[in-house]
Amino acid sequence: QECSVQLLLENILRSDATSTLLGGQLPIHVINNSQYISPLTASAEVKKTYVGDNLPSLDDAIHTALSDNIKTVMVVGPAGSGKTTALTKLVVGWAKGEHLQNFSYVFHFCLRELNSLDEMFSLETFLSHRHGHFTPEILSLALQEPEKLLFVFDELDQYKHSLDPAVHTLCTDLSQVASEPCLVASLLHGTLLKGATILVATTPTGHLEFLNGTRVEVLGFLKPQRKAYFEEFFTDPASANSALINMERTLGFYNFCTSPRFCWTVCSIYKSLVDAGESLPETLTQMFVSIMVHLIRALSLTEARSRDLVAALGRMASHCCLEQHSSCTKEEMYSFGFQQFLTSQTSVDVFLRVEGDLESDAGAFSFHSQLMQEFSLALSFFMDKSPCQSVKEMLEKHEGRAKFLDLYLAGLSEPTQRRPLEILLGEFNSDRILDFKQWLKSSSQKTLKDFYKDRQLHFFHLLHQCHNPSLVKEIITPSARIGISYGGLGLQDCVALNYVTVCLGEMEQLNLYSTKDFMEEEAESLVPAMALSEKIILSQSSLRTGSIPHLASALRNGRTKELDLSYSHLGDAKLKILCTGLRDCQLLTVCKLTEACCGDLASVLTSQNSQLHVLDLMFNDLGDQGFMQLCQALRSPYCKLQDLELHTCDLTAGSMEALSATLCSGQSELREINLTQNAIGDRGMELLSKSLQHPRCKLQCLNLYDSQLTGGCCAGLSEALKSEHWSLLELDLSVNELGQEGVLLLCEALSRPGCPIEKLGLTRCELTYSVFKELGSLLRGGTSRLKSLSVSLNSVGDQGAKHLWDAIAHPHCLLEVLEVEMLQLTDACVGDLCAAVSASKTLRSLDLRNNLLTNASVPALVQLMEDSHNIYNDFGEDVFEMLDSCSKIRY
C-alpha cells in the first residue's frame, strides 16, 4: 500500500500543466510553496455579510462532512474559487498520512479528463487504467472494503455525460463491464461499491440535481484571507501591504475578489508592474489593460499581428457571449481568425484555457474567466477600424449576456487608461470612442432625470470606471435627480455612489431609505459621501453595529445637518456609538431608545463643542428619569439645543418640575418642545404654567396635543397667559378635555393686549357655541395676534361657526389659517362663509374637511376659489368632479 501511495503522490506532482497568469498557479505548487490559504465556506444567505471571522474554512467543512459518516459530499463553488486546490491538498495530506487516515485508499479523478473515454470496462480495469500505481492485488484487496474508500471527483461541471440514473442501467457488480459514464454514475449513485465515500467538486451545475448528499459551498477569500495570501505571495511585508491596500481600494468591492484565482492574477500582475517601476492600476479596466500588455509582450508579436490576435479574441468573446458557450472547437477558432496563433511557437494558451493538444483537432478552447472574455470584446470593439457598428447596437446585441462590457468600454474610452495598449497596438478607432462618449453622456443624462435607482447606479458605475472627475461634473448637472432613494445598495454600488458624490463635492441629500442590513464595509465606503451630504436619510433601515462608527465619523468631520434615523430601531447601544459623532446635526429617531441612552445624549449636549440644535426623539421610551437627565443637560452653558421633539416618550407630570426648572433657569436655549401624547395631566400643566410666566423662560412653541389635560388646568394657564413675561407664540392644546369653562378662561386671557400668541390649537377640546362666540370677539377685538387657529372636531354647527365667519370678514382679524374640520357645517353656512372669505385680506388656508356640505354648496365654493387669489381649501369626497374643475382646490 505504501508504495501505491507514494506513486499516487508522484503522479500528482508530475502533472505536466503549468501555472499561468490567468489560469492560476498549479495546485501542487500552491501546496508545496506553502501558499495555501484555506478558503471560506458560506451558505448563499451569509455571503452578503462579508464577516469572515465566523465562517468555517473550506478544509474544516470538508473534513467535518467526511468524518460525519456522510457518504456523498459536494463541494460547490464558482470557477477559480479553489475547489481543485482544496481537493488536491486533501489527497496529498492523506497520502502523506496527515489526515483522513480512516480511508485506506483514495481515488482521485478529474472528470473532464474522462470525457473522451469511450471504451467498456469493469470497475477494476477502469480503476487500474486511471490509477496505474495500484497493483492488481492491492486494488482487489481495496475493493473488498468499500467503506474504507474515498472517491474524489473534481470538475463535475466539465463532465459531458449524463448522471441521470434513469439514463443508465446502473452497475451493481464489480466485474460487470460497462461504459465509463455508466461506471461513474454507478459509483456516484452508490450502486457500485456501496458504502464508499464520494467527494465531488463542481461549479453550480445541472448535474447536481441527480446527487444527494451534503453540500459545502465555497465562498473563497474575504479580506483576512486576501491579506494572508498577499503576505505569502510578496515575501516583503511592505510590498505585500501596499499591493493589498491598492487591491482593496480599487477592486475589493467586486464579488469576484473572493476568487483565489483572481487574487493570484492580481498579485502576479502587480508584482510585474512593481518590478518594472510602474504604478498600480486604479480601475478594473486599467488592471486588464496591464494584463493584456503583459501577455501580448510575452508573445513578442508585431503590432499588426497583435491587432489580429486581439480581433480574433474579440470574435471568440462575442461568440461565447452570444451563444452562452464557454468552450470553442478548433474549427470555430479558425473561423475567428486564430490559425496563425495555434502553433507551439505562438501559443494562445497564455490567453485561453486549452484542453487537449493545441495542434490536434480535438482541442477545446475557452476564456479563463468572464472578466477576460468581456475585456477582449470591449478592446476589440475599440480596435476595430470598420465604421459599421454603433456602440448602441453593440451593447444591445450583447445585452443581458455581458456584465462588464460597458464598464470596460467606459474605462477604455479614457485616454489615460488605454494608453499602454495604444503604445503596443496602435491607435484605437477614434470614431467609436467618440460614439461611446456621446452614448454615455446622453443616456446617463436621460437616466439621471428619472427615478429608477438601479439604472442611475449603473451609470455611476460607468462614471466610476471612467475615473474622470470632470466628466462626472459634466454629466451630473443640478437637474439630475440624485436625491432619490438608493436604499439597499451593495458594496459595489456604495463605492460608485461615493465616487460620484466626492467628484461633485457636495450632496443635498444622501437618501439611503429602507437600507436593510447596513454593513460595516458599506458604511465605510460611504464615509466621504456621507460627510459631504447636508442630510442623510436612513429611515426604515437596519444598521449593523459595525456601520455606526463610520456614520459617526462622517457626522463628526462632515457637513451633515440632518440625520433621519426614524423607524430604524437603533437602540441605546448603537446610539451611544453614534453620539461620538453628533455635532450640529438634527437627529430623527424612532429607534427603540430607552432611559439608558439619555446619559449619552446628555454628554453630547453638554460637550464643549456641542452644536446640536434640533433633537427629535419621538416614539422612544425615555421615561421621566431619562428626560430629567436631558433637562439637566439643557441647563449646561454649552448646550445649544433649541428644538426638542418628545412625542410619545413615556413622560408624565413627574418630569415636568425638572422641565419647568430648566425653563425658568434662563440657561436653556430651548425654543420649541413637543410633548404630544405624554401623560402630562393637569398637575404637569400647573408646573409648566409657572415657568411660562417666568421672565427667564425663552420657550416659543409648546405642543401639548393629547396630553391628558382637563378644564382644571385652565385657571393656572390663563394666569400665565396674562403675565407680561409670557413668551409662547405657539400653543397646541388639541385633543384635551378642556371644555367650555376652561377655554372661556383662556379666551379672556388671550384678549390681553400684547398677548403674543400667533398659533393656537384647540382641535377636539369639547368647545361649545359660547366658546366660538368668545373666539369670534377675540379675533375681532383688535388685540389678538392670532394667525393660525384650529378648532376642528368640536360639534358647534353653523351657528357656532357664524362667529368665526363674522370674525374673518372683520378688518382687525389677522387669521391666515383656519381649520374647521368636522364642525357639522351645512350648506346653510356657505353664503356667510363665502362672503367672509371674500372680505378677508389675510386668510390663505381654510380646512373644511368632513362637514355636512353637499354638492349644492360646491358651485359657490368653486366660484369663491376662482375669484380668490390666495386661498386653498380641503373639501369632502362627494364633490370630486366639480372640484376638479378648479385647480386651486385640494381635496
Ligand X SMILES: Nc1ncnc2c1ncn2[C@@H]1O[C@H](COP(=O)(O)OP(=O)(O)OP(=O)(O)O)[C@@H](O)[C@H]1O
| Residues making contact with ligand X (CB under 6 A) | 24-25, 27, 30, 35-37, 39, 77, 79-85, 155, 203, 229, 260-261, 264
Q: Which is nearer to ligand X, 38 or 718 (CB)?
A: 38
Q: At its nearest, how many Å lie between ligand X and the CB of residue 155?
A: 6
Q: At its nearest, how many Å lie between ligand X and the CB of residue 55?
A: 15
242 contact partners, CB below 8 Å, separation of at least 6: none
Q: Which is nearer to ligand X, 34 or 344 (CB)?
A: 34
Q: At its nearest, how many Å lie between ligand X and the CB of residue 620?
A: 48
Q: At its nearest, how many Å lie between ligand X and the CB of residue 80?
A: 5
- Number of CB atoms found within 10 A of residue 440's CB: 21
> Nearest-CA neighbor of 259 among 201, 220, 227?
220
Q: Which is nearer to ligand X, 157 or 435 (CB)?
A: 157
Q: Which is nearer to ligand X, 37 or 658 (CB)?
A: 37
540 contact partners, CB below 8 Å, separation of at least 6: 487, 513, 514, 566, 567, 568
CA distance 782 to 779: 7
Q: Which is nearer to ligand X, 201 or 377 (CB)?
A: 201
Q: At its nearest, how many Å lie between ligand X and the CB of residue 85?
A: 3
Q: At its nearest, how many Å lie between ligand X and the CB of residue 474?
A: 41
**H or E element in which residue 611 lies:** none
Distance of CA 154 to the CA centre of its chain: 36
Q: Please give the DSSP secondary-structure letter assigned to residue 269.
A: H
Q: At its nearest, how many Å lie between ligand X and the CB of residue 109?
A: 14
**Which residue sits closest to ligand X, CB atoms considered?**
24
Q: At its nearest, how many Å lie between ligand X and the CB of residue 113?
A: 12
Q: Which is nearer to ligand X, 90 or 644 (CB)?
A: 90
Q: Which is nearer to ligand X, 64 or 366 (CB)?
A: 366
Q: At its nearest, how many Å lie between ligand X and the CB of residue 95?
A: 18
Q: At its nearest, how many Å lie between ligand X and the CB of residue 230?
A: 11
Q: Which is nearer to ligand X, 37 or 405 (CB)?
A: 37
Q: At its nearest, how many Å lie between ligand X and the CB of residue 376?
A: 18
Q: What are 44-51's contacts with CB under 8 Å, separation 24+?
A: 44/217, 47/219, 48/490, 48/517, 48/519, 49/519, 50/222, 50/223, 50/491, 50/519, 50/520, 50/521, 51/222
C-alpha distances (whole Å) from 529 to each of 246, 521, 565 are 20, 14, 17
Q: Which is nearer to ligand X, 36 or 627 (CB)?
A: 36
Supply the angle between the helices 284-299 and 303-323 in degrees, to the nearest 10. 130
> Nearest-CA neighbor of 621 among 651, 645, 599, 641?
651
Q: At its nearest, how many Å lie between ligand X and the CB of residue 225?
A: 8
**C-alpha cell of 478?**
443640478
Q: Which is nearer to ligand X, 36 or 619 (CB)?
A: 36
Q: At its nearest, how many Å lie between ligand X and the CB of residue 207?
A: 13
* 716, 687 contact by CB (below 8 A): no
* 551, 530 contact by CB (below 8 A): yes
CA distance 1 to 8: 11
Q: Which is nearer to ligand X, 74 or 497 (CB)?
A: 74
C-alpha distances (whole Å) from 672 to each of 47, 105, 293, 615 are 47, 80, 66, 10
**C-alpha cell of 802?**
357664524
CA atoms within 13 Å, Cβ hemisphere of 326: 12
Question: Each residue of 492-521: b (16+ CB within 10 Å) or e?
Answer: bbbbbbbbbbbbbeebebbbbbbbeebbbb
> Nearest-CA neighbor of 144 among 187, 105, 176?
105
Q: Which is nearer to ligand X, 81 or 250 (CB)?
A: 81
Q: Which is nearer to ligand X, 35 or 665 (CB)?
A: 35
* 871, 837 contact by CB (below 8 A): yes
Backbone dihedral region for residue 186 (phi beyond 0: left; psi -120 to 50: alpha; all else: beta): alpha
Alpha-helical runs (H) found in 391-519 = 391-397, 405-412, 415-425, 430-447, 453-466, 469-475, 491-504
Q: At its nearest, how many Å lie between ligand X and the CB of residue 37?
A: 4
What residue type is assigned to position 404 of the chain? F
Q: At its nearest, how many Å lie between ligand X and the CB of residue 396?
A: 30
Q: Which is nearer to ligand X, 35 or 347 (CB)?
A: 35
CA distance 413 to 428: 9
Q: At its nearest, how many Å lie between ligand X and the CB of residue 30?
A: 5
- Number of CB atoms found within 10 A of residue 2's CB: 7
CA distance 322 to 313: 14
383 contact partners, CB below 8 Å, separation of at least 6: 307, 310, 311, 314, 425, 428, 429
Q: At its nearest, how many Å lie between ligand X and the CB of residue 79?
A: 4
Q: Which is nearer to ligand X, 113 or 584 (CB)?
A: 113
Q: Please give the DSSP secondary-structure letter assigned to residue 57.
A: B
The length of the chain in residues reads 891
CA distance 495 to 254: 10
Supply the angle between the helices 415-425 and 303-323 in degrees, to the nearest 10. 120
Q: Which is nearer to ligand X, 264 or 341 (CB)?
A: 264
CA atoms within 13 Å, Cβ hemisphere of 604: 27
* 7, 133 contact by CB (below 8 A): yes
CA distance 592 to 570: 6
Q: At its nearest, how many Å lie between ligand X and the CB of residue 324?
A: 17
Q: Which is nearer to ligand X, 89 or 694 (CB)?
A: 89
Q: Which is nearer to ligand X, 24 or 776 (CB)?
A: 24
320 contact partners, CB below 8 Å, separation of at least 6: 326, 328, 366, 367, 373
